[in-house]
């Protein structure tokens, strides 16, 4: 940077080096006077020289004005939107389902790419879509390895019980590797505004978290479980980056313990209040069937039993939905990048209604409403997600990334390993 000062009104501006050539005639944007710029010593009043004589009537050339410095963009809030429709996705879903059945699952790689490209392409942030760039052939090679591993594991656990424990232990030890490889592959093949995401492959920390801490869960009677979830979320967020810009995570272990304590409170309320109240009603009706005029005692007991049969799963579902929703909100609200923060505003009652109504629609339609349920859930999740404090999207820079194999992604998918935030 170099300083340019007007010798007439003392206006001073910082300019990138080399912007104004040495000896150039410039005009001050404040006072309009012209002077000659000399690099090294800078302009002085004594260096101001009159303009060269011009023929009568000629218009003298206008000296270049000092360019205005670039002002930083004001922080703003960017919102996610989902533009997919159930009708569009149904066409993709039904073809994927039929081809997976016909090919005995071999079409799974192409089905996954088609599905993700649709959901990525219809997920917009500030009006720009995301892209999924994975090659189905790479996923298919990973699927073959995963299918073979699944067959070996299934056969071993069924026909040779002695080997089942060994295979289970081996699979347990591969989980951290699968998590890292899956995350590497998905980030490498995810793009926004021509800039890819990335993930740092720290296998040592992955084994400490996904194997070491997970191994301690039964020995601590589950008390370490909230801390395990916290470390897993922190690992997945802080090892990820957008181009060269890493994500940061601000939550603490206390936040996750508080969340699970609230969930435990709901469970205690279910076991201590709801269930005893239901049993009390049932026993009261058993002692005096006359409480329900004209009702048969046995029929009354069956009605109470049916009520409990349906009420308890609903209450249990509410607790599960509460944990999932609260975890998602806490994780997103603790994720930051370059001074900006994600904000998730999902509500438990909304999510509970979505899950219940989606399940009812899928059962009633024999599965044909599954695309509608997926689109509906995705739309709600993205409609409640935003990024606050983004100033300039052009400030993010790309970084070099090598190709990543898809074996970890497909093996983890076959064995049901979820590495999402």
Q: What pLDDT shows up at residue 154?
A: 77
Beta carbons within 8 Å of 297's beta carbon, 6+ residues apart: 285, 286, 289
Pick the CATH number of 2-47 from 1.10.3470, 2.20.28, 3.30.1040, 1.10.10: 2.20.28
Q: Write out the chain in H/E/C secondary structure.
A: CEEEECCCCCCEEEECCCCCCCCCEEECCCCCCEEECCCCCCCCHHHCCCCCCCCCCCCCCCCCECCCCCCCCCCEEEEEEECCCHHHHHHHHHHHHHHHHHCCCCCHHHHHHHHHHHHHHCEEECCEEEEECCCHHHHHHHHHHHHHHHHHHHHHHHHCHHHHHHHHHHHHHHHHHHHHHHHHHHHHCEEECCEEEEECCCHHHHHHHHHHHHHHCHHHCCCCHHHHHHHHHHHHHHCEEECCEEEEECCCHHHHHHHHHHHHHHHHHHHHHHHHHHHHHHHHHHHCHHHCCCCCHHHHHHHHHHHHHHHHHHHHHHHHHHHHHHHHHHHHHCEEECCEEEEECCCHHHHHHHHHHHHHHHHHCCCCCHHHHHHHHHHHHHHCEEEEEECCHHHCCCCCCCCCCCHHHHHHHHCCCCCCC
Higher pLDDT, 202 or 275: 202
- Smallest CA-to-CA distance from 228 within 241, 212, 251, 246 is with 212
Q: What pLDDT shows up at residue 246?
A: 92
Is it the case that residue 410 has pLDDT exceeding 70? no
CA distance readout (Å), 39 to 28, 43, 65, 354: 16, 8, 17, 68
- Smallest CA-to-CA distance from 117 within 135, 99, 103 is with 135
Question: Where does the pLDDT of residue 241 fall: very low under 50, low under 70, confident under 90, or very high at 90 and above?
Answer: very high
Q: What is the pLDDT of residues 203-238, one digit of tens each?
A: 999 999 999 999 999 999 999 999 999 999 999 999
Q: What is the pLDDT of residues 90-107, one digit of tens each?
A: 999 999 999 999 998 889
Q: What pLDDT shows up at residue 268?
A: 80
Question: Which of 142-151, 215-224, 349-358 is predicted least confidently?
Answer: 142-151
| Strand 240-242 versus strand 195-199 pairing type | antiparallel
Q: What pLDDT shows up at residue 167?
A: 74
What is the C-alpha separation between 157 and 167, in angstroms, rounded? 8
Average pLDDT of span 342-347: 95
Q: What pLDDT shows up at residue 212?
A: 93
Is it the case that residue 163 has pLDDT exceeding 80? no
Please state the φ and ψ torsions of residue 387, each to the nearest 5 degrees: -125, 120
Average pLDDT of span 388-406: 57
Q: Which of 181-195, 221-235, 289-303 has the highest mean pLDDT?
A: 221-235
What is the C-alpha separation between 25 and 44, in angstroms, rounded? 13
Q: What pLDDT shows up at residue 172?
A: 81
- Smallest CA-to-CA distance from 187 within 418, 410, 412, 420 is with 420
Q: What is the mean pLDDT of the chain?
A: 79
Q: What pLDDT shows up at residue 144?
A: 82
Q: What pLDDT shows up at residue 64?
A: 58
Q: What is the pLDDT of residues 150-160, one digit of tens each?
A: 787 777 777 77
Please state the φ and ψ torsions of residue 143, each to the nearest 5 degrees: -65, -40
Instruction: Say what angle helices 370-383 and 348-364 make with each other, to 10 degrees.
Output: 170
What is the C-alpha separation between 131 and 89, in angstroms, rounded? 17
- Smallest CA-to-CA distance from 312 within 270, 352, 269, 358 is with 270
Q: What pLDDT shows up at residue 51?
A: 46
C-beta of residue 315 within 8 angstroms of C-beta of residue 274: yes
Q: What pLDDT shows up at residue 287?
A: 55
CA distance readout (Å), 78 to 122, 378, 408: 16, 18, 33
Is it the case that residue 412 has pLDDT exceeding 50? no
C-beta of residue 48 within 8 angstroms of C-beta of residue 8: yes
Q: Which two tokens stand for residue 187?
A: 């980030």
| Strand 245-249 versus strand 240-242 pairing type | antiparallel
Q: What is the pLDDT of residues 53-90, one digit of tens each?
A: 555 555 556 655 555 555 555 677 899 999 999 999 99
Higher pLDDT, 386 or 265: 386
Q: What is the pLDDT of residues 3-60, one digit of tens each?
A: 777 777 777 777 767 667 777 777 777 777 777 777 655 544 444 444 445 555 555 5
Is it the case that residue 374 has pLDDT exceeding 90? yes
Higher pLDDT, 256 or 40: 256
Beta carbons within 8 Å of 276's beta carbon, 6+ residues apart: none
CA 313 to chain centre: 29
Q: Which two tokens stand for residue 26?
A: 């410039």
Q: What pLDDT shows up at residue 261?
A: 92
């Amino acid at each position: 940077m170099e300083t340019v000062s007007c010798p007439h009104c003392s206006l001073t501006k910082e300019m990138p080096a080399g912007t104004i050539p040495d000896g150039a005639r410039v005009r001050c944007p404040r006072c309009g006077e012209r002077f000659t710029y000399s690099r090294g010593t800078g302009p002085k009043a004594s260096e101001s020289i009159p303009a060269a004589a011009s023929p009568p009537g000629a218009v003298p050339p206008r000296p270049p004005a000092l360019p205005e410095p670039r002002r930083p963009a004001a922080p703003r809030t960017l919102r996610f939107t989902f533009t997919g429709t159930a009708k569009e996705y149904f066409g993709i879903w039904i073809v994927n389902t039929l081809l997976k059945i016909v090919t005995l699952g071999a079409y799974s790689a192409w089905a996954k790419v088609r599905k993700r490209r649709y959901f990525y392409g219809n997920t917009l942030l500030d009006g720009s879509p995301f892209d999924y760039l994975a090659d189905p052939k790479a996923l298919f090679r990973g699927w073959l390895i995963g299918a073979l591993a699944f067959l070996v594991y299934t056969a071993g656990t069924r026909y040779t019980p002695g080997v089942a424990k060994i295979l289970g232990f081996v699979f347990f030890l591969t989980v951290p590797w699968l998590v890292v490889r899956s995350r590497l592959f998905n980030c490498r093949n995810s793009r926004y505004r021509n800039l890819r995401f990335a993930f740092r492959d720290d296998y040592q920390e992955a084994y400490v978290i996904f194997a070491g801490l997970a191994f301690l869960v039964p020995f601590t009677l589950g008390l370490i479980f909230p801390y395990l979830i916290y470390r897993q979320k922190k690992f997945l967020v802080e090892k990820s980056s957008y181009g060269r810009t890493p994500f940061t995570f601000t939550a603490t272990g206390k936040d996750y313990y508080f969340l699970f304590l609230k969930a435990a409170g709901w469970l205690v309320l279910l076991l201590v209040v709801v269930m005893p109240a239901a049993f009390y009603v049932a026993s009261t009706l058993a002692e005096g069937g006359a409480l329900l005029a004209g009702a048969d005692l046995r029929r009354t007991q069956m009605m109470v039993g049916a009520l409990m049969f349906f009420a308890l799963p609903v209450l249990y579902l509410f607790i599960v939905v509460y944990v999932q929703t609260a975890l998602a909100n806490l994780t997103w609200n603790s994720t930051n990048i370059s001074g900006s923060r994600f904000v998730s505003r999902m509500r438990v009652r909304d999510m509970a209604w979505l899950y219940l109504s989606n399940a009812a629609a899928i059962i009633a339609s024999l599965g044909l409403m599954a695309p509608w349920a997926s689109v509906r859930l995705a739309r709600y999740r993205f409609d409640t997600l935003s990024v606050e404090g983004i100033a300039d999207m052009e400030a993010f820079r790309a970084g070099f990334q090598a190709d990543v194999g898809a074996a970890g992604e497909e093996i983890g998918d076959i064995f049901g390993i979820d590495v999402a935030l």
